[in-house]
Amino acid sequence: MNQKFLDFIDKYKNFRMAIAVSGGVDSMCLLYWMHEIGADIVCLHVNHKLRAEADVESEYVSETCNQLNIPCHIFYWTDEKPENGLEAAAREARYKMMTDFCHENNIEYLLTAHQSDDQIETFLMNLSRGSGLYGLASMMPESTRDGIKILRPLLNVSRAEIKQYCDNNNIKYFVDSMNSDEHYTRVKIRKNRHLLNDELGISDSRILLAIQNLSRTRQWMDKYIESRIEMVIRSWGALFVASFLFDESEEFRLKFIGSLIQRIGGDIYPVRLNSLQNALYKLSGGDTKFTLGHCTIRRLNDRILIVPEGKRTSFRKRHEKRK
């Protein structure tokens, strides 16, 4: 068992946790490791009904959990499947079903089996898209989604080590046929990633080091943004001068305005990047008023007001009493 995994999970081992288990090598390894340390866990498996072998995988996960005496819940994605963006839609549906279960059963933590190779591939995918700090910092070991804390205890464990553990211990796992479909950008990167090391001398360890450095900067940025939000948030919304926003970097502006809108509007999901960029463009041009993320956003002279949609947007009689 990997020591980095043990070091990470140590502070959570006394909590009841849910594990997302697909039946692939990564999640099967995580399931067995959590069972070995005696953690209080429940297995969550989502059958997307996208592949012929999906039912066989669901049955295997269920039987394995029964043998290990681990509660297992199978979910089925029965919604209409979109023609475009199928992978993203499946991911959203999967997280929605699992986080809903966690809320209903008072489970605070949901574990996923993302490992270091996934982390590198995510970094390279985001690099190809021209992502900023938050994209290049890739996946965080701890994050929050739909009000549930997502833990990724295998982020410092390689795919090779995980596979070796399962093979050495005769743990059966399934290989998703989509993992060899080069129509997907991630698969193309996975199959050609070795060229970075072979041709350019850029090793996996160097990429992971860069991600760790970016993650530290992201954590600092998150704390800074939160401190700035606390300066402007009120019980009824937020009020601040335009320079409070526009004197900062674009990375700050996007995250700051997006976090404010999500908090005030109450949405589970953040506002899309292009919508935030458009909002900043409108606010930079002078007096304006528009809605976004169940919020009404107004600029008058040098002041910006954000309130829940439907609430009054008058700047008069706004109390400065803190929330």
Q: How many CB atoms lie under 10 A from the CB of residue 218?
A: 21
Q: Which two tokens stand for residue 254?
A: 């996007």
Q: Which residue has the tokens 């930079």?
A: 284
Say if 209 falls within a structural domain.
no
Helix (H, G, I), strand (E, B) or coil at 306: strand
- Based on the domain organization, do 62 and 113 belong to the same domain? yes
- Based on the domain organization, do 109 and 253 belong to the same domain? no
Q: How close are the terminal C-alpha atoms of the chain, in Å? A: 47
Say if 270 falls within a structural domain.
yes
Residue 66 belongs to domain with CATH number: 3.40.50.620
pLDDT digits (tens, 9 = 90+) for 110-133: 999 999 999 999 999 888 888 888
Quote the number of domains for the chain.
2
Beta-bridge partners for 96? none
DSSP letter assigned to residue 308: E
Q: Which of 141, 174, 192 is the last residue of a domain?
A: 192
pLDDT digits (tens, 9 = 90+) for 238-247: 999 999 999 9
pLDDT digits (tens, 9 = 90+) for 19-54: 999 999 999 999 999 999 999 999 999 988 777 788
- Based on the domain organization, do 74 and 142 belong to the same domain? yes
Model pTM score: 0.79
pLDDT of 293 above 80:
yes
Over range 141-166, report the average pLDDT: 92
pLDDT over 70 for what percent of the chain? Answer: 95
Over range 133-140, report the average pLDDT: 86
pLDDT of 166 above 70:
yes
Mean pLDDT of the chain: 89
Say if 206 falls within a structural domain.
no
Over range 226-233, report the average pLDDT: 93
pLDDT of 158 above 90:
yes
Say if 160 falls within a structural domain.
yes
pLDDT digits (tens, 9 = 90+) for 258-291: 999 999 998 877 788 889 999 999 999 989 999 9
- Based on the domain organization, do 166 and 277 belong to the same domain? no
Higher pLDDT, 55 or 169: 169
Q: What is the pLDDT of residue 271?
A: 85
Q: What is the pLDDT of residue 321?
A: 47
- Based on the domain organization, do 44 and 130 belong to the same domain? yes
- Based on the domain organization, do 238 and 183 belong to the same domain? no
Q: What is the pLDDT of residue 323?
A: 42
- Based on the domain organization, do 243 and 186 belong to the same domain? no
Choose the weakest-confidence range: 33-37, 86-90, 233-237.
86-90
Q: What is the pLDDT of residue 319?
A: 53
pLDDT of 11 above 50:
yes
Q: What is the pLDDT of residue 181?
A: 62
- Based on the domain organization, do 166 and 263 belong to the same domain? no
- Based on the domain organization, do 166 and 251 belong to the same domain? no
Say if 281 falls within a structural domain.
yes
Residue 297 belongs to domain with CATH number: 3.30.465.60
Say if 211 falls within a structural domain.
no
- Based on the domain organization, do 34 and 107 belong to the same domain? yes
pLDDT of 70 above 50:
yes
Q: Which of 143, 168, 192 is the last residue of a domain?
A: 192
- Based on the domain organization, do 182 and 236 belong to the same domain? no
Q: Which of 302, 321, 322, 305 is nearest to 313 (CA)?
A: 305
Which residues, in sequence order, are CB contacts of 270 under 8 Å at separation 6+? 258, 259, 262
Residue ranges of alpha helices (H) inside the chain are 3-9, 25-36, 54-68, 86-104, 116-128, 133-136, 159-168, 185-192, 194-200, 204-232, 242-246, 250-265, 273-284
Say if 199 falls within a structural domain.
no
- Based on the domain organization, do 47 and 169 belong to the same domain? yes
Say if 14 falls within a structural domain.
yes
pLDDT of 199 above 60:
yes
Residue 81 belongs to what domain range?
A: 3-192
Rounded to whole angstroms, the Cα distance separating 48 from 267 reads 25
